[in-house]
A and B are shown apart, each in its own frame.
Chain A
């Protein structure tokens, strides 16, 4: 097997929530792999740490008291390195009773070092598309110019003319109608869906090895969402770009991802091929994944006007991470035999079937 393009090992990202005077363990021991030409989906609710994982990869955690540890190995054709190499020199953490008590950080040193590490990568090897496309585009520069700029900055096409042609090519690729016309449009002249397409074109125009798509369809209208999903699907087969797709929308993930990681409370609770993680017929499921799938209104439920199946309780706040299973407080599958284990021991990622891992005492005791 070839080396994966991106290999995250035991990533931990902590934040200091100023208003709450506490550390948030936004990402707590996440390991993930994105192979060549593979789309890995990360699904989870707010506070599950999925976006923070993406930001950690992009080196956007610098500001404030955010700290990262673990390693992120990136192995592209041009660059190979650990994206977090040597960052831990700038932080010191004091822990007590499995709880972070204090963090000391040399912020400017951290920032400088992080910039150095990411300089040749961000936007070039790893590109990112965000949730709010209109906010991510500069409103005072035409869309075409912005893409041209990206092309000139990150690829061999240095002349303006070449770069423009390239930009138009990418606008065509994302199915923007009459791209030559749209080239001169400002973001404010375009609809949300068009802006998202332009964002995707811009991300792809630097021909990155890895694309991180953070909630690419959230906030768009239903009809446009399904169009964007369709576009991403086509691009996946046409360009074969490795993608880390982050979304709270299971249907988006299930349509696009080859492998899926389900995150809850900062940890990956289930990880494996999309079919076995999200497929309906699978008997072994993590209770959280099963509950998530069931809370989406099914056609049957709508027809019967039945009440929806809910997950009791609230999304775990990652300030007070429990000692046991993170999902224990809301889990409806706890049996008397395993109750004690669930409450006190954090389950490890165990393989339940080839390539399909899970953190649950029910399935892997």
Chain B
């Protein structure tokens, strides 16, 4: 390059974006340390997401060995509405004097298994329908499209309220409904992915080689091409499960007292919010926000790391 440019540019340019050449024949990517291999943002996303997941583990371990400051359901009339950082109550206590920190830690369990249930229902249903629709095509595809449109056009909350009315307000029933209503999104995404692969002769090439359908679907379609998609749907699904439970708890249909869930904590705490006792509702609200954010970022980061590289 011309030498003039390297020496003293006319003015200091601040918004310079820097691109680096890596070593090796074609910029050998595998020799790079992890923080240079992937975008920093992605790594931060994943790290944060994993932190949230770690908290789930902490909650179960703590709950199992009763390593909590207090029993989350223990009522203490002497310490009602203790403010945060008061003696013995790190995050304060609620209107019945129950320790908020303990309730928060146990509250996570209200979501985790039900959320997993919902996610696994929508993923497995979505995978089956998506593959049938994308891979088989034809009449099957038409039927599945109509089915998914039907499910999609039904307001989810109404459906849940119907189930609650017909059976009982149980979080597992709610999550089953949520899982089923999540199927169309996953199915459409997978079917579209398969159609995209078919367009690039990818599937045809596998069939022409003589691979078994099972191998094509499981190995080539699901494992190599849909794993990132499934991960992102799983993490978003977990976030959604939390959000749904919160809104239902607000209506009184979620996890029932005295078992703690973040949703019913926000709901019961909200009554005292305007009296100046903000903490019983704010603490779980923040927990909800950061957890949903964590799941979404985890999915996003993993998606970027798994998908973007090597492809272009």
Contacts and interface: CB of A to CB of B under 8 A. Distances in A.
Interface of A: 12, 16-23, 65, 69-70, 88-95, 99-109, 317, 319-320
Contacts of A100: 1, 21
B17 A19 contact: no
Contacts of B26: 20-22, 317, 319-320
B25 A21 contact: no
B20 A102 contact: yes
B200 interface: no
Nearest to B31: A21
A105 B312 CA distance: 22
Given A19-B310, A21-B21, A109 B5 contact: no
Interface string B17-30: 11111100111110
B166 interface: no
B5 A102 contact: no
Given A19-B311, A89-B10, A65 B19 contact: yes
Nearest to B16: A104
A317 B16 CA distance: 28
Contact of B1 (A16, A17, A65, A93): A93
Contact of A19 (B5, B10, B21, B309): B309
Contact of B13 (A90, A99, A320): A90
A89 B9 CA distance: 6
Interface string B32-47: 1000000000000000
Of B1, B5, B15, the most chain A CB neighbours within 10 A belong to B1
B2 interface: yes
A30 to B, nearest CB: 14
A203 to B, nearest CB: 31
B5 A92 contact: yes
Contacts of A319: 25-27
A65 B20 CA distance: 11
Contacts of B29: 20-21
Given A17-B27, A19-B312, A102-B20, A93 B15 contact: no
Given A12-B1, A104-B16, A106-B16, A92 B312 contact: no
B213 to A, nearest CB: 31
B21 A23 contact: yes
A21 B5 CA distance: 23
B102 to A, nearest CB: 49
B6 interface: yes
Interface in B103-120: none
B138 interface: no
A69 B5 contact: yes
A171 to B, nearest CB: 35
